[in-house]
Structure formats: structure tokens, C-alpha cells
Structure 1
């Protein structure tokens, strides 16, 4: 006997045994009811078996409760048809026979058969609705196997070991796909034969190559004759010590005929449901008791019936509504919408829409409708959502208030960033002047230029920050002259390399025929440097940074609708990185003033907004092209100059490192050169040996090294690792180390209790030199 015949015989035997068990269950039940529904009193009673199957409290059901408990645990996909069947029983239908699914304790579902009947009084009004539930899960499972086996032209078997791109197959398996019989097939070959919208035999998209063990059905185009067939797959995982990996074993059936039969069955069920609806009473209890609106209209849009809820919700007596067109009750502004939707409903298009309907007092009520057509009637179900709409309006107002609060928070972030930068600059000015005064008093006039230069540099940076504030608001004065963009980039190359460090590879690609641009030389330098710094910060692990120039001529058709850039000739300066990239949400906010992805104290959010404002004021534009994980390109469009001449490159100065000293060892970590020079020189004058670092990357080797460190003085707002994070690393390596934070952001000082741990102190910029010296002495005197 063939493999398929053996399987069929076995399944038929199991089905017969399941039928016998079901009959024994029904015989044992006798006259015992699973439930009894007192219809007039709306009281529902059920026995312990019903309670167990529906996962409810048996005592509550035994004492009587709400009829809604009948529908507890029913599968969502079955709930609607069960409710329709029960509604028919409550309306007077005498016999119920339904199969549906109930949720199990483990989250799965069991199949049950509900059979019941309605007892009518002398006036044919329903009195009680009683019945019982029987678990038919096993019968359904075996019936499904029998259906598949009976419809199959044969059963093909296969086995897949996780991690391999092939599967072992039987000859019948190959025949089902129209392939020449073989023992091993590539998974890709099989999947290519499957309809693209259907599931695969073996799905390799999961990195763990795990397959589901449920029944799936899919269409295949046979390789030999090109015919399309429906196949079904079942399988399960088998773990044993003999196999080299986890095995997925399954079978394949041809279910083409079953699918066609299923489609015919669906059509028959629809026809049967239609007959059942026509036989139900026109005025059933669901219709009368619903608090939502039910209506029946003809194709012309005239009411043929409305539920009593019209009187409760809208105040209109149903008798005053029937026979009148729907537009008589629609709010005037929604009449055209209703007419259009009625045409769709007449074409049997299911619709969901909201329209306003006039109530009896003349006020509009917003009703959410769903419609469908059957024969020459349009059925509509409406739910009053007026309160929901009002609540939505309140929510929108609340969201507007939230956005305002977020704007204020952004202003606070801006204030913190500016405070940090200005306090750094003021510390450079005030500290330098204090040291100059001390040296003059001691008649030490050597090296005064160093402190004068530091004070001047800090003051110039403060002025530059003011320019950035004006730039994003497009209120800065621009000296627009012809600028040689290639020459400007070339003159800044050394500065770029010093700024980027060794981890970032710099590429300069300048088109030799690049035009001159009409712009402000100094502001363009600042903008390009900002773009380079942003690109560097986007590559914390290093990468490649490219600066390019080119020419472009834009016509009206090249520009998007609403684009501020006008048609014309432009010089394009592009800065690209291979960093972390930006999401769409970040790109949308990138040019907003105050927006920054950097921590508080490390960015004012004025960098890109300054560049955007500068470009707009120059008659150009800025575009961002970015993908998360793939990097970012920012293109600066500047109008072409047709005049000769370009501004000269500005010279950049680099400050030298201070000499080393003797005494107790203090590690100074400060990224601001002026502040670091002042602190280092002060500590050296006080007799300390000073080790300096500009950021956490330079400081960590010193901390983890063998050298002596008695105190660490660190800025809070360091690039990369901030000062607080660096302090945690330092204390882990040296538990007794004292930490003195210096910060230019006042908010940090306001939350000192949360910010500082034992052994830590903080001093806020700008600070007096004597105050810093005193604080250092105090902390070292307490060193354990």
C-alpha cells in the first residue's frame, strides 16, 4: 500500500474514534444544560462545565449574572457570527447549532459545539434560551487532517536542518512542485516557485532560521507544466543527539481541490446567512435595545426604517424619519459628502465616514457611520462620537500647550549652552587679567603676552558667539564680496586636520573650474568649520570626511514647490562624513534654533541654524542628505559671483603647551585652551606638579597609569566623555582620588547634591583665581 494510502487509512481511523468519543460525551450529558438564559429577566445561569470551558467563576454563573457572560472567551474572529446567531434566538428562532473557538488557559483556543433551543410562550415571544457546549477540538483536528489527506494527490515529506540551505525531500515532494525526483533540493529553488505573496516552505529571512509549526497554505507554479496549484505544509521541530543541528520535519499536500471547495462553501454560507437574516423578525431585540443608530435606506437615500435610538440620541421620532431622504437630517455643510458616499454605498462599497446630523434642538451631532448594501437596501450603523470629537479638540489644545512648553524648554537649553560658552570665555578674560596683575605686582614682566593673548582670544570668541546668535536669526551684517571658495578651503586644510585628529581621514575634492561665490568670507569660514566639526562629532569611532566643491545651474523645474532657493547659478560646497547619520525626524529639526542632539552644556543648538540663516541671508540654501548608519552630506548653496576678486584667507594661530612643574600632582582636564592655561599656570605657581589633558581620551591613560595623582580638576562639559563620566572612571581606578569640577553652566551648580559624590567638589565659572587656589588647598588637605 502506498505512503499516501497508509496515512489516509490512519487518519480515518482516528476520526472514527473521535466521533465515538464525542457521541459518548453527548450521551453522558443527557438532559443537563450547559446554560439557561431567562430572556425577559435578562438573567444568565450556567453550570460548572460551561464555567470551566469559558474560564469564568462557577459560583457567579450558578447564582445568575449578566447575559453578556455567554460571550466570554470567544475568539474575536468568531464573536460577530455567534452574536448574530444568539440575536436570532432571542428574537424567536428555535434552534441553535454553532461551532466556534474558546480561549484556553494557555492562551490558545479550543473548538466547541454549541447547541440550544428557545422556548416560546403562547404569544410566540421567547421565554428561555438554553443549551450546552461540547469540546470538539480533537474532532476538528482529525477532520482537518482527513480533509487535507483526501484532497492531496499524494503526501510529500521533507526534512531541514537549521543552518543549511538545502532540504532532504521525498520523490512525491518533488512531483508536487513539478521537479525531477531527487533526494536533496536547494531551498531557493523551491521558494522561487512559490507565489511572492505567500509564505515560503522554509523561511530563511529569520537569522535563527526558525520556522512556525502551524499549518500554512501557498500557491506554486509547477516547474514542469507551469500550472498553479495550492499546497499545504505542516511540520514540527525534532531535537535529538544524532543530528548535527535542530531538524524541522514536515509534509506537503496538494489542497487545490479543497481550496476550491472552500470557496464554494463560503459562497454557500453567505447565501445561507442572507436567508437567515431575511427570516428574522424585522424588529428584534438587538435593534430595539441598541444605544447606537441602525438605519435602512433605499438606493435613492430615503429612510425605510430606523432604530428607536434615533429618539434617544437625536430626539427625532422614528415615525417622523421614515419616508424622508437622509439629506433632510444632515448638517448643511456635509450634504455633498453624504451624497457622494451614498453613491459609493449603492455600488456596494463598504464605507466608514463621519457626518454631522441635526438633532431635534437644531444642534449638530457627529455620527460615525459604516454602510453596506444588500439587494436594493443600504444598511448603516452609526455611533455618536460627538463627545469623542470634543475630547479630541481638548487634546489638540493640550498638545499645543505641550509644544509651547517644549519650546520654552528649548530656550532653557539654549540659555544653558550659551552660559557654558560665555562663562568659559569670561574665565579666560578675568583669569588672564588677574594673573597679569599679580605678575606686574611682583615685577615679573616676562610672558605677559601669553595671558594677554588668552584674554583677547576669549573676548573674540564671545563676539563670535554673538555673531552666531545673529546668524541664525539672519540679522548679522554680511560683507558680501566675491570669494574664491576653493582658495578658502585650501587655506583651512591644516586647521581641518588639527581639528579632526588622527582617527578621521580627510579628503579634499575641489573642482578646478569652481566659480567664485558672493558671500561673507569670515562667515563662510565659520560655517565650513562648523560643518567639519559636526561631521567629526558624528564619527566617534573615526571615519572619512570629504570636502567638495562644484558648480550647479538650477532651473525652476529643478526646485521643489515652496523652495526658497531661486533658479540660477550656484557654487556648491559639500561636507560629507561616514558617521552615524540622522533619522528623518532629526533632519526635520536640524535647522531649528536651539535644537541639538548634544548633551546640555556641549552645544547651543545654533551651529546648523547659524549656517542655515547665513546661507539664506546670502541668497543661497542648505540641504541635508543623510541615512542612519550610513553618514551625512550637507550641501551649502552659494550664489555665483560674476565679478573678480576674493577675500583673503585668515591666519590661524596655535597656542603652545605650558611647561611642567614640581610638587603635589594635579591632573587638569579642560578642553578650553584659555581656561586650561590659566589653571595650569596658577597651580604651577603654587608649587604643584601639573599634568594636563584636553579631554577624557587623553586623561584616561594618565589616570590608569602608574604616576602619582593627588587631585583631578576637570571641566564638566568635555567633548566625548563628560567630566562626570570621567570622574567615575577615575574613582574606579583610584578610589581615594579627590575630584574638583569646574563648570560654565549654572544649572549644574544648582543640582550639586544630585551631581556630586563623596570626595567631589565644584566651582563655577567665572571664578576668582584665589578662590580656585583656596579650593585646591582645601581638598588636598583633606586627602586621605
Structure 2
């Protein structure tokens, strides 16, 4: 706090604290035995705010802390007053309204020239929503049967969830010794967690393990998935992953094997049909596992990311160039982290086919031509790029933005497979399938229904893959890249997009002979729309006469959205639910130009609100926002016709562009 006060005026300080989610700051004068706080701290603690410069008795610091947490915090503060360096504790406070809030207190001790503590300063950050989200995540993990773990190289214990303990039949705990975890493995099984300071990290966190549960000695099969994260300097690593029970799937596989052995002597290579059933079962299991992990919490997670990204975006815009450059760097790093989290959620939803698509008629040659500059910027000059799509190529039905993402993912994979350079060729061809095209063991893309398609081939001259690798390329989190250079979700996302679009994907590869990935997308009888680069871009600013009604049940998301739209110059009114929004439509004197509503809300959904609102005001433009739409505005994974969606999390730039686009139609 002293450093901030020296570099920022009070208004700037408040803006930074607000952007960081701070709920107050304190400055404890140890020598003078006085506590100085800002207005946020005083308001939270119900302290008189007439003259904060006079300070308060130091006992006021503990005034609002929950009685059950107060002894623990008193001990921690006593350590700071005695000269401890850092203070970082989470505890509950009781607000003046009686609500119980979770706070993260972070502070430090300041020493004089004799190394004696003279001041104790710090910040309070409201982490109530994070705590609630963690609880919801815990419930989701328990309901889905998914346990989480995190292990750091060289430590003797592992941070685990309660569901992790339950799956292994161990007593619930936040941390477990590595040896206790590995002790439940059946004889001959590889270690679940590396043991010993010299233990080498696993190549990946895949695999299935047979365990003999600690509490009842029941034998079960456990699958492990996740990532191996190496330190920047290569000196250590972390394991971050999940486990879940696959005993039933193992029994099903055993039953299928028995059936195969029996029928081989009676009805020859039905073999292909059985393999198809096994593949369908494996794909269904993968889809179910990813869906359990993402679908249930995506709505809340993307709401939180919207608040974080929006607040950081506003803080960046309002931070003066003369401010401490460390503040700008911190805000930039926060934005990058939030964007990576949003991209991860997007890819998981895409693989599990829960990503909302906006399919339309697409001219493939035109789309590929428009991607040329992007491909040239993304692919190294050591790789020759060829794009070949004749004018006779059929129009397809697909989401153009998701198609561009899928092709870019395939191009980046091809680039990484040619570290010494090579050739990348992207071609399009018309293809009619008279019968369903089934996947082979070396082509795990699944069946492609009969019909007319445009096949977009992405061909490289890279290192290629063997049959074992080909059988896993679409598995979530599977990657052949080095640790830290890939999430293993790129091809999984492309696979999910192709299937959700009504098409499919095929892959062919040999070691040393390169790889060909063929994306099959269904033919459309509609005329292709005008490409986005041919449209004239409109100014993104609005005017007060353009009134927008924002409906959002999450107070923080609504506050950010309303503030951003007002900064863009629009007239804005807000409502927390559908009933209030309909009342505002009836009372507002001037016509409302745009209804911007969340999809998933209690009592009345966004789609129900839009229907009733258009009955009251014909021609009202509607923009939906959502972090996870379920089936409210889409069917079969596709947005209903005429529906406009701004997915969460969104930045101020995304918001400005989409709103302007709708108002200018």
C-alpha cells in the first residue's frame, strides 16, 4: 500500500483495487498502535467513515472476522507484529448486512533500519464466489465420480480432492502421502504417482491401473488423465490430473472379447462390427467423461471469466501511462491467463459437442483464400504452403468461424510435425458417399453418414505417426508434443466440430511419410453468404438514443456489461430477471433498440423472455449471452435459425463489435 500511494492518486488507487477485486486495504501502525483503513475496509467492517485519517484502535481489525476464524487470525497477526515477513490467510467476515463473506487477506511487514517491525500493510480480496465455485466443482466431481490431484516434484505428499480419496478407498484428506496412494495398487501395476526425489516424471498422465481399495480391499480399475507440467528452467515438474472409475468399461471390454472369441469360429470378421461397437463404446466413454467435467460447471466458470477479463480490460484502459509499469504487466499477465482458461473451456466444450454452432452456407474456396494471410503469419517460412480449391467446389453448411479455427489447428499440427521444413497442402474436393464410411483401427475418426460432402484435406510432409499413435489422436489430452507445448485438445476439438456439424473426419499417416487429415462437411443447397471481409465495418461506438436493455442474473457480470456499454456511448437500462425486464419494456417511454439477455436464468429463461418481449415490441433485436447454453437456444448442437449469441467470456472489443453489428442491420 505505501508504494501504491506514492505512485497513484486516490482515484487511481480505487480503480486498481476494484479491478483486482480488492475489498479493502489496511495500514497497521505497530509503533503508534493505530489501524488506518480505506473506505472499502471501513464499510465492510461497519467502521465510522467520517474521518478515516484519524485511524482506529488496532482491535478493530478483528471486529468483523467470524468468531470461528478469529483465534487463528489473531495468531497469524501476532506473528506479523513480531516481524514475520508475509501474511496470506483466508477467513470469513460478517458484513453489516449479516452476510458471511470469504476474504483472502494478503499483507507484509515493514522493518526499520534496526530490522524491527514498524508497520503491517495489506489488502482484503473477496473470494466468496471462488469458494462457492470450488464447492460446486466439488459437488460436480462427486456426482460425476471424478477425483483430482496435484503433485510437485520432490514432495512426499499429493494435494487431492475428497472424491480422489473415495475412489481409492482412503480416508478423506486434503493431502495424502505418495506411498499411501501407491500402496493401493495391485501387484505388478506401475506407480500412480512417482516416488523418490530422483524419480523420473511419466511421459504422460494417461493409463489405467488396477487397485485394491484401502477400506474394503475391493479390486477396481482406475483411469488417470492429465498433464505433466515442467518448470521453466527444466529443474522440476508438476503432475496435474484426474482419476475416475472405469471398472464397468473394463467388464464390458472383457465381455466383448469373450464374445469375439466365441463368434470367430462361427461367423467370420462380424469382426468389423464388433470393432465398431468397441470404438463406439470408447468414444461414448470419452464424451461422457469430458461432458461431466465441463458441462456442469462451464456456465459458472465462464461467468467468472467474463468478470475477470472485463475488469482487467477496464483497468488496463484506465491505467495512465505514467503509472507503475509493474501494474500494467500484472494486468496483462492476468488477461493472458484468463484468455488461456477461456480457450481451454472452449476446446473441451467443442470436443464434447456442447459448443454452440452457428452454421450457414459457406463458400469454401473463398474461405480458404481469406485464410491465406493468417496461414502465412502462423507457418514458418521453411514450409511451402499450397491452397487449391476450384470454383466447382460445392457450398457447405458449417459455422465459418469454427471451421477457420479447425483448419488453423490442423495447420499448426502440420507445422509442428515439420521442424526442419517441408510442404503443407490444403485442398478441397467434392465427395459423395453412397454408404456409411466406417472407421478402421488406423483411422479412428468414426463413421461418416452417407451423403454429399466437401472434403478439405490438410496434407503435410512431416514425421508421420504409427498405428498406435493414430489410434489415440482424437483422445482428449493426448499429445505427441513436448510437455508444455500442447494441451492435447487440438484434434479433439476438430473431431467434435466435424461430428457436431453433421460430417466427419478421416486421418491417414505413416512414419516418415507425412499425414493427411480429411475434414468432411455436408453440402448445402443454400447460396453462400457474403464473406466478412467484404462487409463494410461499422463504427463500434453508440449513442445515448440507442437504448439497450441488459438482463443478467449474475450481479457482477451485469455490472460489467452495463458499464462497458455505457462507456461505448449507449443508453442502458438493466434488470436482474425476466419479469423485471418485461416491466421495464412496458414502462420505458422510448423504444428499446436491443435486448441483451443471458440464456440460463432462474424462473424465466432468456429464450422465453425474448419471445414475450417481441410480442410487446415487434422487431426488437435480441442478443443472447451464455457460458453454457445447453438446449435453450440450440438443437443438435446448432443455434436456432435467426439466433444471435455472444459466448462468455467476452471482452469489451467483442461486445462492442457484436452490438454494433446487430444495431446496424
TM-score range, shorter chain: 0.3 to 0.5
Which protein, 1 or 2, shows the higher relative CO under an 8 Å CA cutoff with sep ≥ 6?
A: 2
* TM-score for both structures, normalised by structure 2: 0.33
* TM-score for both structures, normalised by structure 1: 0.28
Larger radius of gyration: 1
